[in-house]
Amino acid sequence: MNKDQLIKYSEILKNYKLERPMNIMEVCGTHTVAFFHTGVKDIFPEGLNLIDGPGCPVCVTANGYLDRAIEIQKEHGVVLATFGDMIKVPASYTSLQKLKSEGVRIEIVYSPMDALEIAKKEKDTEVVFLSVGFETTIPTEAVTLKKAVEDNVNNFSILTGNKLTPPAVDTLLALGEVKIDGFILPGHVSIITGSDSWQFLPGKYNKPAVISGFEPKDLVMGTLRLIQLIEKREIEIDNLYKELVTEEGNRLAQGFIDELFDVTDAKWRGIGIIPGSGLKLKDKYSLYDAEKKFPVKMPEEVENKNCRCGEILRGLITPPECPLFGTVCTPREPVGACMVSFEGSCSAYYKYRK
């Protein structure tokens, strides 16, 4: 699509007269940010309401996960290696950032391979990588673990907090708390899972969806197509990212994941336990499973009662409806995970607020 066509379709979207008001959900945090920063959200026609979904891995990681990482560090003296955005997330009683400022060694890494490299260089140091992410990052974590096994690196392990997105969307719909007319589905996740992984939307819930990329043209065309599907009652998954997303997904990446992990139930912030939405390492890789390798007595998990991140992740409220938004809670001084992550709703609303 050239620039003139983008302008033309943007005008069509802007001036579209909806037959009725409708709620659409973008499942993924990358889309949340993309709709803001491209300005496509600003040209939504009257009556079109975008609800942010639970697709920010840092945001949905429950406090208990970080509590465990912190206890493992305290009791076993390990080095924690994590992506940068996890470090500011408040756990039940402290945060990794606070521990780091107190002198605890916490390494910020850009990939799990970086964490493995630390373990290889420092053979007397136990390195625990905080493995938090969706289908887009899980294959990299699986490959890293394979490498650790192949190279016989015994001082490296991962604390699995990985999650699978389709079961979370399934659960949101089953809860029935918010009316959603259709979905914008993440192209990058769907590259791994395949478009068939979303067939429960039309099949079980009678909801249409489009699989979309993240460029302005993708967002404009994806939104227009979803409106059309809803209005024409065409209940299907329309894959607008066909150049990269197949029906069955990336078999190679799926193979890596299946080789190392089993599907398990997982706790999501604000939603609770979602059956079949998490991954755990297979028993034969227990040596690399930080939860098994470093048993700890877990403290009681506590949520900040003033933070409404959970309701935001369920699509019940928007960030500005939280009384702390932009006053007590800012990206510099975040109260909850949704303000920490670049892909979090609160962070996006704050950054792009008018």
Contacts with ligand SF4 by CB under 6 A lie at 307-309, 312, 319, 322, 324-325, 329, 335-336, 338-339, 346
Question: What is the length of the chain?
Answer: 354
Cα(214)–Cα(219) distance, integer angstroms: 6
Compute the least distance from the CB of residue 2 to ligand SF4, in Å: 39
Compute the least distance from the CB of residue 63 to ligand SF4, in Å: 13
- Dihedral of the alpha carbons of 65, 67, 68, 72, in degrees to the nearest 10: 140
Nearest CB to ligand SF4, comparing residues 50 and 226: 50
Helix (H, G, I), strand (E, B) or coil at 210: strand
List 90's β-bridge partners, or say none: 95
Nearest CB to ligand SF4, comparing residues 252 and 328: 328
Cα(76)–Cα(72) distance, integer angstroms: 6
Nearest CB to ligand SF4, comparing residues 195 and 341: 341
List 289's β-bridge partners, or say none: 158
Nearest CB to ligand SF4, comparing residues 148 and 335: 335
Compute the least distance from the CB of residue 132 to ligand SF4, in Å: 17
Compute the least distance from the CB of residue 170 to ligand SF4, in Å: 24
Nearest CB to ligand SF4, comparing residues 67 and 135: 67
Nearest CB to ligand SF4, comparing residues 178 and 296: 178
Compute the least distance from the CB of residue 342 to ligand SF4, in Å: 13
Tokens linked to 314 = 């369920």
What is the CA 346 to chain-centroid distance, rounded?
A: 14
Per residue, the 3-state secondary structure of 91-141, as one string, reads CCCCEHHHHHHCCCCEEECCCHHHHHHHHHHCCCCCEEEEECCCCCCHHHH
- The residue number with the shortest CB distance to ligand SF4 is 336
Compute the least distance from the CB of residue 311 to ligand SF4, in Å: 8
Helix (H, G, I), strand (E, B) or coil at 310: helix
Nearest CB to ligand SF4, comparing residues 138 and 309: 309
Phi then psi dihedrals of residue 266, to 5 deg: -145, 150
Cα(225)–Cα(202) distance, integer angstroms: 15
Compute the least distance from the CB of residue 312 to ligand SF4, in Å: 6
Nearest CB to ligand SF4, comparing residues 58 and 115: 58
Nearest CB to ligand SF4, comparing residues 210 and 322: 322
Beta-strand pair 209-212/272-281: unpaired
* Helices and strands, number each (H, E), in the chain: 16, 11
Q: With contact defined as beta carbons under 8 Å apart, do 269 and 254 qualify?
A: no
Q: In Å, what is the CA distance from 176 to each residue of 84, 169, 314, 315?
A: 34, 11, 10, 11
Compute the least distance from the CB of residue 232 to ligand SF4, in Å: 36
Nearest CB to ligand SF4, comparing residues 279 and 335: 335
Compute the least distance from the CB of residue 264 to ligand SF4, in Å: 27
In the block, which residue shows the tokens 């300005």? Answer: 39
Compute the least distance from the CB of residue 95 to ligand SF4, in Å: 13
Q: How far apart are the first and last CA of the chain?
A: 29
Q: With contact defined as beta carbons under 8 Å apart, do 341 and 52 qualify?
A: no
